[in-house]
Chains A and B, each alone.
Chain A
């Protein structure tokens, strides 16, 4: 009986340890963990522009749009040796401290969903008083099969976001 209890308790301890290990991994390496299990695009580049890239209320522009190449050519900071076919932007932000990051791609029935995360500065934080336009450039296959989703988070002192 005591042996059984001991075996059970060891089993639960082992299981608990595995879970702790699993969650610790999630906490410490969230992006890597997610991306490792999703459809990772070949290339992406995220930055913040001080000029408007897309018209108001438009969040993305793909290679299929006529303006795409012109808009892309005006982005100076992008790596010159990369090619992209999708531009995603959060639109106008009131200061520095905002950013956009590529998170993951989730497969759905009809469309795959591309997840981005918009980061906001801390409340009452000090920032540069410039209008910014956070954006990401991505190179994806099969542009028609994606939907774009932007999640928001505010920077906290704790380095892990609620979203993850």
Chain B
């Protein structure tokens, strides 16, 4: 009895061990605490019936592409175009005489290739698929898109077929397989939906023994010598580790980085009741096991693909055979999308971006997780600009986060710049692996605008009477005097009778505007768009500017400015050959001639820029101007001003602004005012103004536009003509009536044509009425 018990115990041992072995699969399916996450499949324009395999022949809906978010990659332009994939398998869609017999592969004969001598079983050049497997595998990669039914994951890639199995599913000799793999090295990616039915392999020598020495050597040649990507189906025995070919990467550094093992998850297929349809590991699939670092999951259970039979018969089936081609195709999409990545980096990106939350965090089952082509084709880390160097990995190459690169352009040329950059792209790079991304160049540019401040509120504010709280004859620095108007210097060298020195912070000393009395006390030339009469080359706009003006006997003067940190400097020399402010010169003309220069640090024409669009320390503008006022009798006053300048842009080191021609700019204002209009105490003024505009000049941008697998960057020149396509003209009519001593009525009609010097701008019209009564 005791012996019988022992015998029973021994006999039952294999059963117990079997039970333990089966537990691996159970743990996956039974891990109730894990939820199954999904990626964001965002390319809605590509989510067609074909995407879901819905067709009259292919049957009901399958989510095999949706599970890996392939449409997101399509939306970014990745289709596999230009990438070649070897299908080392049972052959392709030809009959024995070499005629294509499957209409899912007839869209482009250049992309479905049977290389010479590619039938390694029969030693001929017609690798026809007599077992009906290679065609199904190939379809999952590249079934045609656009003919109904279904399409492959990389539907624009190029396939080459190498036949190593015969019609019975028997593989050819070790040496022939090796020869096929060596020939397949002509491709970027080599798909292998076959393998040894083993639970991994224990060492490199054991792997070699199981795989075959010639085949093993060919695998190493493919990866280590030729840098090609090998994709292996993990196998369908439910083992804890992939089969030997997929597992060898664990033991051999020659394979690492370029050999990928693929396990299968169940997709959902309306035409089948197979599998769990839960996107968890397929019950049949080998697990990633200790090859997790080189392993990824993809749909392989319950898949729709095309059959060799009758040309275009569709079948629903499963196996890691079908998961591997999805990964091969996914790699093709990544490789096409990022021309700067080496094959190792393509593989690394695929593995790194896999969905690895919750269920897929079980690395012994899923390795890196479920393939996620949305994440794989977007930035993994920060996108950065390159500093102008040609080598992505050179130690002297530096990168800038995107937010640190910008250009805020002056309205004097922003319209021209926007037009020139519209649709233009440049490359930026993912700090993760320097994968190249195209971005719109104009995304770095902010257009300055004269019309942005043209609001009805600001228009109304123009008519608010100035607060005149003049403090006259305030003595400063001995005999010099200054007049103030609130926080503004009310006096000007143009207007002052004597010598003066004005010092101020955040103040405007350019008071030619004040000289146009009686207009100035009923019209505030501020807030609304550009200022009409001020020197535009001193209008730095920082709000933190120091000014100094000096005037001597109304015959000449100096204006200077610097900003708070002293980086911008300006100097203008003013000649006043005529002045009506002198006694007895009431009807004489007022004339001011201005000559000057300014120097702007890291900007020009008040256009600021940083990073790769930075300008140098000293962009220089030399300018000249003329201001003229003449009282035409007692009632009429004519005013006019005009400025022109040449700007020389200083090139910064590493800036994409490579060169430029001098920028010629202009601006002008003409005005006529009449007192005693219709009735006494009525005044009217008419102004025509053109804000500062570039009349001639261009920039040459040198931007990175492509990069290659050898990690070099190619730059392209982009010449930008900065002259806008139109000319903004502002027309203003201002009316003022003093009703009583304590009440005042003003009106202003403004018409703005070609706002911001753009002929695409809508004309603007404003009308404001302002009544003020003091109680």
Contact = CB atoms under 8 A, between A and B. Distances in A.
Given A77-B309, A95-B236, A97-B170, A130 B322 contact: yes
Interface stretch (B40-48, B195-203, B386-394, B496-504): B195-203
A73 interface: no
A125 B321 CA distance: 16
Contacts of B132: 50
B270 to A, nearest CB: 14
Contacts of B309: 76-77
Given A128-B131, A129-B319, A94 B236 contact: yes
Contacts of A95: 197, 235-237, 319
A92 interface: yes
Interface string A21-52: 00000000000000000000000000010111
Q: Most B CB atoms within 10 A — which of A95, A97, A128, A129?
A: A129
Interface stretch (B310-318, B514-522, B625-633): B310-318
B284 A131 contact: yes
A128 B198 contact: no
B710 to A, nearest CB: 35
B196 A126 contact: yes
Contacts of A124: 196-198, 210, 244
Interface in A108-137: 121, 123-131
Interface string B346-375: 000000000000000000000000000000
A131 B169 CA distance: 12
Interface residues of A, number: 22
B169 A97 contact: yes
B290 interface: no
A96 interface: yes
Contact of A52 (B196, B236, B238, B272): B272
B774 interface: no
A126 B196 CA distance: 4
A128 B90 contact: yes
A55 interface: yes
Contacts of B338: none
Contact of A127 (B171, B315, B322): B171
Given A50-B315, A97-B170, A124-B210, A131 B197 contact: no
B450 to A, nearest CB: 68
Q: Most A CB atoms within 10 A — which of B133, B169, B313?
A: B169
Interface string B193-236: 11111100000000000100000000000000000000001111
Given A126-B196, A129-B194, A129-B235, A96 B131 contact: yes
Nearest to B215: A126
Interface in A72-121: 76-77, 92, 94-97, 121
Contacts of B273: 55
Contacts of B244: 124
A53 to B, nearest CB: 11
Contacts of B316: 51-52
B155 interface: no
Given A55-B273, A76-B310, A94-B197, A130 B284 contact: no
B274 A52 contact: yes
Contacts of B313: 76
Nearest to B309: A76
B317 A50 contact: yes
A94 B131 contact: no
A127 B192 CA distance: 11
B89 A128 contact: yes
A50 B133 contact: yes
A76 B309 CA distance: 7
Contacts of A96: 131, 133, 165, 169-170
Given A51-B317, A52-B272, A76-B313, A127 B197 contact: yes
B307 interface: yes
A50 B136 contact: yes
Q: Most B CB atoms within 10 A — which of A95, A121, A123, A126?
A: A126
Contacts of A125: 171, 196-197
B284 A126 contact: no
Nearest to A122: B197
A121 B194 CA distance: 13
Q: Most B CB atoms within 10 A — which of A52, A55, A92?
A: A52
Contact of B195 (A51, A55, A123, A126): A126
Q: Most A CB atoms within 10 A — which of B131, B195, B235, B236?
A: B236
Given A96-B133, A96-B169, A124-B198, A130 B307 contact: no
Contacts of A130: 133, 136, 193, 236, 317-319, 321-322
Interface string A122-164: 0111111111000000000000000000000000000000000
A131 B317 CA distance: 7
Nearest to A92: B284
A131 B170 CA distance: 15
Interface in B228-286: 233-238, 243-244, 272-274, 284
Contacts of B415: none
B326 to A, nearest CB: 13
B236 A129 contact: yes
Nearest to B172: A126
Interface in B117-133: 131-133
A131 B171 CA distance: 17
B273 to A, nearest CB: 7
Nearest to A77: B309
Interface string B151-169: 0000000000000010001
A97 B194 CA distance: 11
Contacts of B196: 124-126
Contacts of B197: 94-95, 121, 123-127
Contacts of B243: 129
A128 B235 contact: no
A128 B210 contact: no
B670 to A, nearest CB: 84
B324 interface: yes
B320 interface: yes
Contacts of B310: 76
A6 B628 CA distance: 152
B314 to A, nearest CB: 10
A51 to B, nearest CB: 5
Contacts of A128: 89-90, 131, 133, 165, 169, 193-194, 319, 321
A130 B309 CA distance: 17
Contacts of B324: 129
A126 B274 CA distance: 25
A92 B284 CA distance: 9
A125 B194 CA distance: 10
Interface string B514-535: 0000000000000000000000
A16 to B, nearest CB: 39
Contacts of B237: 94-95
A74 to B, nearest CB: 9
A129 B193 CA distance: 6
Contacts of A76: 307, 309-310, 313
Nearest to B324: A129
Nearest to A125: B197
Contact of B236 (A48, A51, A121, A131): A131
Given A50-B132, A95-B197, A126 B236 contact: no
Contacts of B315: 50-51
Given A76-B309, A129-B243, A130-B236, 10 more contacts: A50-B307, A76-B307, A94-B284, A96-B133, A123-B197, A127-B171, A128-B133, A129-B195, A131-B236, A131-B284
Interface of B: 89-90, 131-133, 136, 165, 169-171, 177, 193-198, 210, 233-238, 243-244, 272-274, 284, 307, 309-310, 313, 315-322, 324
13 contacts: A52-B272, A76-B309, A92-B284, A95-B236, A96-B165, A96-B169, A124-B196, A124-B197, A126-B194, A126-B196, A128-B90, A128-B169, A129-B235
Q: Which 6 A-B pairs have the closest CB atoms?
A: A96-B169, A129-B233, A94-B236, A130-B319, A130-B321, A129-B321
